[in-house]
Structure 1
Amino acid sequence: MDKSGGALGLGYSDKVHDPYSDDPALSFRRPQSYADNSDVSLVHNAQDIGRAGVYEDLEYAEPYADEGKKVEPEETSPMKRLFGTGKYPLDQRIEDKKRGIGRQKYPFVVWALTIAMVGVFINELVVNSRAQGTPVSLKPVVNPMLGPSESALINLGARFPPCMKIVQGVPETMQMACLNDTANPPNQLCSLEDICGFGGFHNQTPNQWFRFITAIFLHAGFIHIILNMIAQLTVSAQIEREMGSAGFLITYFAAGIFGNVLGGNFSLVGAPSIGASGAIFGTVAVTWVDLFAHWKYQYRPVRKLVFMTIELILGIALGYIPYVDNFAHLGGLCMGLLVGTTLYPVISPTKRHKLVMWGFRLAAIPLAIVLFVVLIRNFYTSDPYAACSGCRYLSCIPTSSNNHCQGTGLTMTSGGSSI
């Protein structure tokens, strides 16, 4: 076994700590009372030993002076706490980084989001069951993700540009298959306004901008939500432990929303998109920030880089599955890098390293804002396809069913005739 990391790759010695050993490498710092009084009470001993294992707020850890007396931590501002620059010994931060210990013990935000998404998915199944008689759409076509129909997903808040703005080639008079339609071609048609739901458009143009957000909480079926929640409860949960809930929440939703904005610009407008994949990719991006910022503290960083690259390629490949949008993945990854660089607590052992990190942070903040403003404006005021006609192939495999990724990718009926 490699003593520097062992089989588990934790990056620290595998020797067992012994609080009573004379070997400094095997013992915690002994209180002065051990040397002065061999009859120290067991209660007192347990308290001293327990302190080394108590999981505290790592940005406010209380170091010990040489004589074993506690040193009161200095007052730390909220900004320092957010960026991980509060009172906390550098050596201890490095050791905790190698052990995978972060700012907090429990990923409360990840747990809350997972519960909310499971609840929303149950509601999706109920809605489809009421409409078609079965929670999983089997007619007119089988949902490959084993979930509700396309119309039900749009009605519940999927990112679907025709519900959000006027789309060239998709008239407001367009009719689509109703939620309860099971025929192919559809014999029960509903207006676009009825399918979009949420009270319709109130005699105005489609304006359901909130779909950039609601789509994050929806999933296309059992396969989709199981894969996403596994990733969320593992990778995303660890990032929350390391970043803290506040920084994680900002990163998660910035990545998820921006992924939907990017997809709204360049994906086929007739293909609804849903899922937390963009937000999860944003948290995956933070692991890349961690890898390069803490390269010398990582266990076998080159091997880790190879595995992370393979995982990233597989994740992008999954973006070609129906109802999943690769632009959401790529947009979430991009915004996760920018926001993660800004908010992730990086260990800076030297002034040069600290200056480099602050340089990246100061560049990332305005770039993230500019990307949001430009792409949201582009979504509502121009035709993104005109600027990048080939971009759609990043999230679409050309087939006869989608007109080889041309047009809107939507089969429409208006006035009873096919368009």
Structure 2
Amino acid sequence: GRYPVEQRIEDKKRGIGRQKSPYIVWVLSLAMLGVFVWELVLNAREQGSPFSFKPVVNYMLGPSSVALINTGARFPACMKTVQDVPITLQMGCMNNTANPPDSDRLCTIGELCGFGGIEANAEPDQWFRFITAIFLHAGIVHFALNMIAQFTLSAQIEREMGSIGFFITYMAAGIFGNVLGGNFSLVGIPSVGASGAIFGTLGVTWVDLFAHWKYHFRPVRKLIFMTIELIIGFAIGFIPCDLTGFVMGLFVGSIFYPVISESKRHRIIMWGFRVVGLVAAIILFVILTRNFYTSDPYAGTCRYLSCWPTAANNRCQGTGAYPLPHIVTMLIICSKPCRIDHDRSHHDELTTTLLTHIIQSPSD
């Protein structure tokens, strides 16, 4: 044919892919830069500074959590009815930097959700946050780390896969990471970042390694280093989004990655993986999306995927009090002596103002 197997193998060994330039990576990165600039502009307009210093310092050098919620972070209360965090609950407005907050500058969660707001008697339905959260970042540090990974790992994967297959894989991993994160993360934690999508492209490198084992230089050593890299990435990241993004990258990447098959047996095996990957991806998307809207997974043990239980965060109970700076700090101020009752039948007895301040990890 016009592109014989021998030439494809030689190009593979030399690192030559389907195209020379990672056009989608450039476009996505430019879009993320534009969104991040808007986050800083919004925070500067509301608080007088592009970076949040009051009432909580964002050590990632970025906007407040309220600004992130307003610009499209994954935040379940804006996406569906959450009994513990209703849209009528009041928080400090974006320009309210006092601690405790000034009572004359309070906004409901429905107002802070942005995009036209959500009326008090309306059903929260901002499903698009599964997508928009991919383009937001918690600060300069977070943005810079994701861009380094995107312009190295993701760019090379796009060169090898081609723009169409890369874009589908990248977005599928990012969205699915947010779907699963929305299922099992604590409801009071807004989440942003492209780490799930980037880990999806990392999953594609595993497809490449196992599909082209004999073409890689010292594949066993490469597998060891990739395993260590994966463990470190999960250790410093936000496990639900990263792990599921990686898994979706394996499934979807196996469909679109250009695999070289020298034998009929290898070709049949790869097509088998593609069929399994397609079916698994569809089933997981359907089940977890339905689960997000119809069930209450936060009450079970899956909450521990995103929360390390300690006495300081009430053993991961409630909406998401978490002491570690890379996730979120939540402050509940009661209008009477604080007695947090986690029995939902008594939840409405408390008059609360919920202030949420995020310092998101670089890995989301």
Q: TM-score range by the shorter chain?
A: 0.7 to 0.9
> Is 1:106 matched up with 2:17?
no
Q: 1:221 & 1:349 partners in 2: Cα distance? A: 47
Q: 1:239 & 1:308 partners in 2: Cα distance? A: 15
Q: CA offset at residue 329 of structure 1?
A: 0.7
> 1:176 maps to what in 2?
91
> Is 1:396 matched up with 2:307?
yes
Gaps of 5+ in 1: 1-72, 74-86, 320-324
Q: CA offset at residue 412 of structure 1?
A: 4.9
Q: 2:140 & 2:289 partners in 1: Cα distance? A: 31
Q: Determine helix, strand or coil for the equivalent of 1:230.
A: helix
> 1:352 maps to what in 2?
265
Point out the more displaced range, 390-399 or 94-103.
390-399
Instruction: Give the structure-2-normalised TM-score.
Output: 0.86
Paired letter, 1:291:
L
Q: Deviations over 1:13-57 (max 9, x none)?
A: xxxxxxxxxxxxxxxxxxxxxxxxxxxxxxxxxxxxxxxxxxxxx
> 2:279 maps to what in 1?
366
> 1:133 maps to what in 2?
48
Q: Determine helix, strand or coil for the equivalent of 1:176.
A: strand
Q: Deviations over 1:377-409 (max 9, x none)?
A: 0000011134xx232222223355543321111
Overall identity of the aligned pairs, in %: 68
> 1:147 maps to what in 2?
62
Instruction: Give the structure-1-normalised TM-score.
Output: 0.75
Matches within 5 A, 1:19-418: 87-187=2-102, 188-202=105-119, 203-319=121-237, 325-386=238-299, 389-399=300-310, 402-409=313-320, 410-412=330-332, 417-418=351-352
CA separation of 1:400 and 1:272: change in aligned 2, threshold 3 A: farther
Q: 2:191 & 2:139 partners in 1: Cα distance? A: 12
Paired letter, 1:179:
M
Confirm or deny: 8 A CA contact 1:161 1:264 kept in the other structure. Answer: yes
Q: 2:305 & 2:274 partners in 1: Cα distance? A: 29
Q: 2:229 & 2:3 partners in 1: Cα distance? A: 34
Q: CA offset at residue 305 of structure 1?
A: 1.1
Confirm or deny: 8 A CA contact 1:258 1:335 kept in the other structure. Answer: yes
Q: Determine helix, strand or coil for the equivalent of 2:107.
A: strand
Confirm or deny: 8 A CA contact 2:111 2:118 kept in the other structure. Answer: no
Q: 1:146 & 1:395 partners in 2: Cα distance? A: 23
Q: Determine helix, strand or coil for the equivalent of 2:27.
A: helix
> 1:41 maps to what in 2?
none
Q: 1:207 & 1:337 partners in 2: Cα distance? A: 30
Q: Kindly tell me the number of residue pairs found equivalent between the two proteins.
A: 327
CA separation of 1:150 and 1:400: change in aligned 2, threshold 3 A: farther
Q: Deviations over 1:231-284 (max 9, x none)?
A: 000000000000000000100100000000000000011000000111101001
Paired letter, 2:315:
H
Point out the more displaced range, 357-366 or 309-318.
309-318
Q: Determine helix, strand or coil for the equivalent of 1:246.
A: helix
Whichever of the two has the greater Rg, that structure is: 1
Q: Whose relative contact order is higher, 1 or 2, with alpha carbons under 8 Å and at least 6 apart?
A: 2
